[in-house]
Amino acid sequence: MSLPLDAADLAAIWLTLKLAALTTVLLLLVGTPLAWWLAHTRSRLKGPIGALVALPLVLPPTVIGFYLLVAMGPNGPLGALTRQLGLGTLAFSFSGLVIGSVCYSMPFVVQPIQNAFEAIGKRPLEVAATLGASPLDRFFTVALPLARPGIITASVLGFAHTLGEFGVVLMIGGNIPERTRVVSVQIFNHVEAMDYASAHWLAGGVLVCSFLILLLLNRRGRPSVMPGTRA
Amino acid sequence: MIRLQLKQRLADFTLDLDLTLPGRGVTAIVGPSGSGKTTLLRCIAGLERAAEARIEVNGNCWQDSERAVWLPPHQRALGYVFQEASLFPHLDVQGNLDYGRRRSRSPASDSQTAQIIKLLGIGHLLKRGTASLSGGERQRVGIARALLGSPGLLLMDEPLTALDPQRKAEILPYLERLHAELDIPLLYVSHAPDEVARLADHLVLLNNGRMQASGPLQALLPRLDLPLAHSDDARVVLEGVVSGYRSAYQLLSLRLAGDEHLHVIHGELPPGTRVRVAVQARDVSLVLEQPQHSSMLNRLPATVCAVETIADAAQVLVRLDVQGQPLLARVTRFSADQLELHPGQTLWAQIKAVALLSQAAGPPSSRFATTIAASAPDQ
């Protein structure tokens, strides 16, 4: 039996994995400080920023995709900036896709980490301060290790959610082989072409993959973040 | 010397204090809950920033709002023991102990570390995870962790309150040893009179964010104008010197400041050892004539200084002077009327029970940490 996936399918899988991995890494880098800020700030901006981060949970992906497309376009603020920097426009490029995915999967990463930081409470950080740890030291040696379960959950959710995105990709990435054509778009192509067999292989793959990821996440359980230290 | 001047508005009152505390020994901070004790400690540690404050610990200025000086907590050489041990759950006991020691500017040396671990009896726990420790063990590790950074000031916020009586009894001896061996000042927030009597040298009474009284423990406990003397387990603390031991009766004799003697059932201690004893007001009864045939072993000649009716009006509190040492007696108002108690009157105080608290001072090798409350035996 020949391999049921053709070269275009494999390219789409590879592109999807690359996109999801890169997005997850970027989200952890951006989302962790953002989650820290949301967990600790008393600023009036906490509400609006928190709502902004959560928007992708409720908005149709096409809405996010549309506004990102406009922003990245030659007349949009982001597009103007990238053109100024000599990078051209980001729309219909892999970089644009990464930016879109980061926005789209943001709440799936920020919220678990924020919850984990909030569950730690003030006390362990105060203890560390009285033991001579500077704020940065406290963040890396106390907050991050204690938030580890939340960070793992966030990574898995961010990765899995990026695997499954479609609307945003289509809006800002289009359907360019090896640059923006990810698995979900490729499945759409197969269905459009009435090639249900190929669609089945890819769709089934995504289904099984997502199921396994969630199963793994649940089996890890949710160890209580800090037993006995909430004041 | 510790200078504390601070003003901090809180939800329902203002913490407004101006205190000078001794630069070594244990200062107990007592007061009803919500009187600002914990806030005071948190301000000293820098965990909260008092709006107006000057905090100086043995020559180091930690905050001076007038000169805009403010050291963040991690730059203050202090150890803080919280009510719950708050050990880091992601580190084992050794990791917890190392955390502070590694970050200290003057960490405990290896031999000091070994000594502190031994003092707190946690040597066998070092490889254990924190989740498997008992409450008492956790708190001992927490105390050791605070000490290993060689702080210039130790702050303890009701470290025993979260523990059951048994764990409490298990950990108090360690604190007493600490008291005897520690060179740095320790501020100890508590509302347990027995802890205070056993540990404190100096006492600060807070009420509604204000200082009600501050002074040596022995001087404050018998003061009738303070709430301490009016509590159910009011007591005075006396210091004495071991003057003899009758092994057949297991009876330890102590000479008090005024040449009077007290007798306590206790193990033998070398003559000359300085000890601290507590006498509860309810364990003191009064007789007008010198008792001749009594099972009460401890009888001291005393002069009545003051008589005050206690809130419930059925009992009176009598402040006595035993050759310069204060003593409190609580008797029924009926008895007080029968004996016609009045200031200046001389009589005899019979003491039902004397609790030997700890040795006041001495070379480390001879220090011990047992506490035995003993009733006097029948003669």
Task: Report ipTM for this prediction.
Answer: 0.81
Higher pLDDT, A51 or B375: A51
- Phi, psi of B56, deg, nearest 5: -130, 125
Q: How far is CA B232 from the centre of its chain?
A: 17
Coil, helix or strand at residue A17: helix
Position A26 scores a pLDDT of 96
Residue among B80, B90, B105 minimizing CB distance to A130: B80
Residues of B in contact with A229 (CB under 8 A): 84, 86, 89
The answer to whether the CB atoms of B99 and A133 lie below 8 A apart is: yes
What pTM did the predictor assign?
Answer: 0.81
User: Beta strands B153-157 and B78-81: pairing type?
Assistant: parallel
Rounded to whole angstroms, how far apart are CA atoms B353 and B372?
11
Contacts 24+ apart (CB under 8 A), A50-59: A53/A106, A53/A107, A53/A110, A53/A111, A54/A107, A54/A111, A55/A107, A56/A103, A56/A104, A56/A105, A56/A106, A56/A107, A57/A107
pLDDT in tens, A189-222: 899 888 898 899 999 998 998 899 888 888 765 5
Rounded to whole angstroms, how far apart are CA atoms A185 and A66?
17
Give the contacts of A122 (CB within 8 A, at least 6 positions apart). Answer: A231
Residues 282-311 of B with CB under 8 A from A: none
The two tokens of residue B213 are 């009284």
Is residue B226 within 8 A of residue B232, CB to CB? The reply is no
% of residues, chain A, pLDDT over 90:
50
| Distance, first Cα to last Cα, chain A | 63
Is residue B4 within 8 A of residue B17, CB to CB? The reply is yes
Q: Does B52 touch chain A (CB under 8 A)?
A: no
> Does residue B45 register a pLDDT over 70?
yes
Rounded to whole angstroms, how far apart are CA atoms A52 and A72?
19
pLDDT in tens, B227-276: 888 888 888 988 889 999 999 988 899 998 878 888 988 888 889 888 88
Nearest to B264 by CA among B152, B143, B351: B351
Rounded to whole angstroms, how far apart are CA atoms B208 and A34?
40
Position A230 scores a pLDDT of 33
Q: Does B62 touch chain A (CB under 8 A)?
A: no
Angle between helices B110-119 and B165-181 (to 10 degrees): 140
Q: Domains of chain A, with CATH numbers?
A: 7-219 (1.10.3720.10)
| Distance, first Cα to last Cα, chain B | 48
pLDDT in tens, A128-171: 999 999 999 999 999 999 999 999 999 999 999 998 888 888 88
Position A1 scores a pLDDT of 43
Q: Does A137 touch chain B (CB under 8 A)?
A: yes
Position A130 scores a pLDDT of 95
Rounded to whole angstroms, how far apart are CA atoms A91 and A135?
39
The answer to whether the CB atoms of A127 and B82 lie below 8 A apart is: yes
Give the contacts of B67 (CB within 8 A, at least 6 positions apart). Answer: none
- Determine the distance in angstroms separating the CA of A80 from the nearest CA of chain B, rounded to an integer: 43
